Amino acid sequence: MSLDLPLTRNVRPDRAPTGFDAYEANGGYRGLRAAIGMSPADCLQIVKDSNLRGRGGAGFPTGMKWSFVPMDNPGGGHKYLICNADEMEPGTFKDRLLLECDPHQLIEGMICAAYTIQADVAYIFIRAEYHKAARLLREAIAVCYDKGYLGRDILGSGYTLDMQVHSSAGRYICGEETALISSLEGKRANPRAKPPFPQVSGLWGRPTIVNNVETLCNIHHIIERGADWFQALGLTEDAGTKLYGVSGRVKNPGCWELPMGTPIREIIEKHAGGMADGYQLRGFLPGGGSTDFLTPDHLDLAMDYGTIGKAGSRMGTGTMIILDDKTCPVGFVKNLMEFFARESCGFCTPCRDGLPWSAQVLDDIESGRGQAEDMDTLARQVEFIGAIGNTHCALAPGAMEPLQSALKYFREDFERHISGSACPWCDGGAH
Amino acid sequence: MSDRNDAALIPALSAIELTEIDAEIAHVPYRSAVAIDALKIVQAHRGWVSDESLRAIARHLDMSADELDGVATFYNLIYRRPVGDRVILLCNSISCWIKGCEGLREQITGQLGVGLGETTADNRYTLLPVTCLGACDKAPVMMVGDELHENVEALSLQAIFGDSGGDK
Ligand SMILES: Cc1cc2nc3c(=O)[nH]c(=O)nc-3n(C[C@H](O)[C@H](O)[C@H](O)COP(=O)(O)O)c2cc1C
Ligand code: SF4
Ligand code: FES
């Protein structure tokens, strides 16, 4: 075995789900046994030492996030762990792989995470369209109750945990963790003001941790094999492995688990097979639709949080979207802006009214109706809507990231649309 | 709320639906917390949520109908109008756009005779746009009912929709 790839070791080439027996035969639920043999505080220390950062997009250190959960629970009320399986960031297709191919891995990770923060109820909040994954998870949870891995007194440890799948009803904003909590409470999915942070007052006012699928899939591996093992998996300062993906006009679009910090060039050229015949690379969003463009100049950078951040973008979800030379950059950004405008939850004005305005300006430019001053309008929108703090949540600033970087790297393409009163790539962009 | 199980509500909310909704209520601290689950339960049985069902659910959950409709209309996969037997969810997010989802939409419109938001005259399909379906490496993609179709080409549409073609 050359590479140690813990997250996808049970992913079969045909993507058929790994069932309970095969999962356990391949070392499954050893991490759970290791965890309940330790104190929650010891588990937390290992996760902290591992330097695991959240894989949902923001990269927040997981151990630190958990450390804000109150561990003395005088009233004895519920504490919640929620798995964020809402995966709807445009261009992101990594959690689906983990959910459909290895449901027990997520469940084991969640039991270990819940034990660490001493949550007694866990939810998997899954987007409505992931029918197959939801079914597999429900079946796997039922098996775990039968085996005594869920429910009362798990494996005789005295620890009790209930787990349930909640299938959502649509809307991208549900992936934002406080909006997710609103939705789980049966309300419109409007994000909430922080503080109070969910760790202290989340679902139904109780301490709540929300973590991404991929984050949680790491937990039992870390607890079983240790922080040093996990740190050593990464090639750079960030630890572990990462599911990286490439979509767009490459020869072999896909999703692969690779060491954290794998160079971008290796991901695009080796794993994704390079550009499709007849297409040149012009740029790419490194981690989903709300990250800033990078260009071929950045190909030799390591795909990790720090390096991509320093290059002016974000690693986000780690799934790259390729802009090729036969696709119009204005049309590309317009598609994203229309998405964000549609998905605004409507709570705050700069987002609710600002994003449709940006989309309109982009549509004018793309359709050949653009004016020179539209460039200034877009720049002002980026400055105002993109500033953290001017909007109630991160959706709107995220929406501005592809636009602001497109204005930087593809400015002449915007200007050619305006001066020529037409899209040089013709009627509406991609073909 | 003595009228919660009023016989007059039955047509708008069946006994099976009530049982399923009550099973959800057992897990939560207050009734209205299951609003979305309840809407989805009714939709699973009837395909959509009518005004009558909405009012009946609202009464059962101790909510006003307006409040529940505010929840229902927030979520794009709660249908407040009738839909066809199967809903086509056509991804129009970025990776599918790069790979030609707009052309695909035109093909589907041509074949089924419906635009986005419309239902075929034979009531078999409703065509809706949807956010990135998490299968971007297989773009363009769409769902027909619960089934995901990957790398969809104009040529594969005939096989997917069978004889439901032409201006119905
Ligand atoms: C608009 C918006 C959408 C989001 N969607 C998701 C999502 O689908 N899945 C996810 O894990 N995180 C999503 N996030 C990030 C979550 O708010 C949260 O940071 C994350 O679930 C935390 O998990 P992690 O610490 O394990 O990364 C979204 C954030 C925003 C602002
Ligand atoms: S930024 Fe947009 S999505 Fe976020 S709260 Fe404001 S309106 Fe809602
Ligand atoms: S963009 Fe269509 S599946 Fe992701």
CATH number at residue A80: 3.40.50.11540
Buried b or exposed e, range A291-319, using 16+ CB within 10 angstroms: bbbbbeebbebbbbbebbeebebbbbbbb
- Ligand 1 near A5 CB (within 6 A): no
Longest Cα–Cα distance in chain B: 58
A275 Cα–ligand 1 center, Å: 30
- Res. B151: pLDDT tops 50: yes
Between CA A190 and CA A7 the distance in angstroms is 32
Asked whether the beta carbons of residue A321 and residue B136 sit closer than 8 angstroms, the reply is: yes
Which residues sit opposite B149 in a β-bridge? B142
CA-based nearest distance A247→chain B, Å: 5
Between CA B78 and CA A186 the distance in angstroms is 13
> Which residues of chain A lie closer than 8 angstroms to B28, CB-CB?
186
CA-based nearest distance B2→chain A, Å: 23
By the 10 Å C-beta count (0-12 exposed, 13-18 middle, 19+ buried), A279 is classed as middle
A411 Cα–ligand 1 center, Å: 30
Nearest CA in chain B to A319: B136
The pick from A182, A391, A401 for probing ligand 2's pocket by mutation, whose C-beta has the most ligand atoms within 8 angstroms, reads A391
Tell me, yes or no, whether A68 lies in a domain.
yes
What is the phi/psi pair of residue B119, to 5°?
Answer: -115, 140
Instruction: Assign B166 a pLDDT band (cuts: 50, 70, 90).
Output: very low
Long-range pairs of A186-190 with CB within 8 A, sequence gap ≥ 24? A186/B28, A186/B32, A186/B33, A186/B34, A186/B35, A186/B36, A186/B37, A186/B71, A187/B35, A187/B71, A188/A345, A188/B70, A188/B71, A188/B74, A189/A345, A189/B74, A189/B75, A190/A345, A190/A347
Alpha-helical segments (H) within A165-276: 177-184, 213-217, 219-225, 227-233, 264-265
Q: Same domain, yes or no, for A147 and A126?
A: yes
Q: Same domain, yes or no, for A255 and A273?
A: yes
Instruction: Assign B11 a pLDDT band (cuts: 50, 70, 90).
Output: confident
| pLDDT tens column, B86-130 | 999 999 999 999 999 999 999 999 999 999 999 999 999 999 999
What is the phi/psi pair of residue A129, to 5°?
Answer: -75, -15
Long-range pairs of B25-29 with CB within 8 A, sequence gap ≥ 24? B27/A164, B28/A186, B29/A204
Tell me, yes or no, whether A205 lies in a domain.
yes
Range of the domain at A247: 241-322
Asked whether the beta carbons of residue A93 and residue B137 sit closer than 8 angstroms, the reply is: yes
Alpha-carbon Rg for chain B, nearest whole angstrom, is 19
Between CA A240 and CA A3 the distance in angstroms is 12
Tell me, yes or no, whether A344 lies in a domain.
yes
Between CA A155 and CA A149 the distance in angstroms is 6
Q: Same domain, yes or no, for A405 and A257?
A: no
Asked whether the beta carbons of residue A289 and residue B132 sit closer than 8 angstroms, the reply is: yes
Tell me, yes or no, whether A166 lies in a domain.
yes
Nearest CA in chain A to B29: A204
Top residue of B93, B101, B150 to mutate, by most chain A CBs within 10 Å, is: B93
A243 Cα–ligand 2 center, Å: 28
Token pair in block for residue A117:
């923060």
User: Can you tell me the ipTM of this complex?
Assistant: 0.96
Q: Same domain, yes or no, for A192 and A96?
A: yes
Q: Which among A322, A340, A364 is the end of a domain?
A: A322
Token pair in block for residue A107:
């469940």
Residue B136 has its nearest CB partner, among A91, A188, A189, at A91
Q: Same domain, yes or no, for A109 and A169?
A: yes
A376: domain CATH number is 1.20.1440.230
Token pair in block for residue A5:
């790839």
Residue B75 has its nearest CB partner, among A166, A171, A335, at A171
Number of domains in chain A: 3
Listed residue (A415, A401, A429, A397) closest to A332, CA to CA: A429
Q: Which among A292, A322, A352 is the end of a domain?
A: A322
Q: Which among A322, A356, A380 is the end of a domain?
A: A322
Are A289 and A336 within 8 A, CB to CB? yes
A292: domain CATH number is 3.10.20.600
B138 Cα–ligand 3 center, Å: 8
B36 Cα–ligand 1 center, Å: 21
Q: Same domain, yes or no, for A136 and A201?
A: yes
Residue partners of B135: CB distance under 8 A and separation at least 6 = A93, A96, B91, B141, B148, B150
- Res. B10: pLDDT tops 60: no
Domains along chain B with CATH numbers: 2-74 (1.10.10), 86-164 (3.40.30.10)
> What is the residue whose two structure tokens read 């809402």?
A86
The pick from A177, A342, A352 for probing ligand 2's pocket by mutation, whose C-beta has the most ligand atoms within 8 angstroms, reads A352
Between CA A404 and CA A257 the distance in angstroms is 30
Low-confidence ranges of chain A (pLDDT < 50): 1, 428-431
Residue A169 has its nearest CB partner, among B32, B78, B143, at B78
Q: Same domain, yes or no, for A424 and A350?
A: yes
Q: Same domain, yes or no, for A96 and A43?
A: yes
Measured CA to CA in angstroms, residue A83 lies from A107, A137, A164, B12 at distances of 10, 12, 10, 34
Please report the atom of ligand 3 found closest to the CA of residue B138.
Answer: 3
Q: Same domain, yes or no, for A62 and A195?
A: yes
Token pair in block for residue B53:
């069902």
Tell me, yes or no, whether A223 lies in a domain.
yes
Tell me, yes or no, whether A145 lies in a domain.
yes
- Ligand 2 near A352 CB (within 6 A): yes
CA-based nearest distance A60→chain B, Å: 23
Between CA A221 and CA B130 the distance in angstroms is 35
Backbone conformation region of residue A101, classed left if phi is above 0, alpha if psi is from -120 to 50, else beta = alpha
How many interface pairs between A and B have CB atoms less than 8 angstroms apart? Answer: 133
pLDDT mean across residues, chain B: 91
> Which residues of chain A lie closer than 8 angstroms to B131, CB-CB?
88, 90, 170, 172, 339, 343
Residue A339 has its nearest CB partner, among B93, B135, B143, at B93
Q: Helix crossing, A411-420 with A354-366: angle to 10°?
A: 60
- Ligand 2 near A393 CB (within 6 A): yes
CA-based nearest distance A294→chain B, Å: 16
> Which residues of chain B lie closer than 8 angstroms to A189, CB-CB?
74-75
Tell me, yes or no, whether A1 lies in a domain.
no
Q: Same domain, yes or no, for A128 and A254?
A: no
Q: Same domain, yes or no, for A228 and A253?
A: no
Nearest CA in chain B to A402: B94
Q: Same domain, yes or no, for A279 and A153?
A: no
Which helix H or strand E contains A413, and what residues bound it?
Answer: helix A411-420
Reduce the secondary structure of chain B to three states and give it as a string.
Answer: CHHHHCHHHHHHCCHHHHHHHHHHHCCCCCHHHHHHHHHHHHHHHHCCCCHHHHHHHHHHCCCCHHHHHHHHCCCCCCCCCCCCCEEEEEECCHHHHHCCHHHHHHHHHHHHCCCCCCECCCCCEEEEEECCCCCHHHCCCEEECCEEECCCCHHHHHHHHCCCCCCC
> How many Cβ atoms sit within 10 Å of the Cβ of residue A76?
6
- Res. B14: pLDDT tops 50: yes
A89 Cα–ligand 3 center, Å: 9
Tell me, yes or no, whether A26 lies in a domain.
yes
Which residues sit opposite A165 in a β-bridge? A124
Between CA A352 and CA A346 the distance in angstroms is 5
What is the phi/psi pair of residue A415, to 5°?
Answer: -65, -35
**Which ligand minimizes its atom distance to the CA of B148?**
3
Between CA A202 and CA A33 the distance in angstroms is 29
| pLDDT tens column, A40-89 | 999 999 999 999 999 999 999 999 999 999 998 878 899 999 999 999 99
What pLDDT does residue B164 have? 54
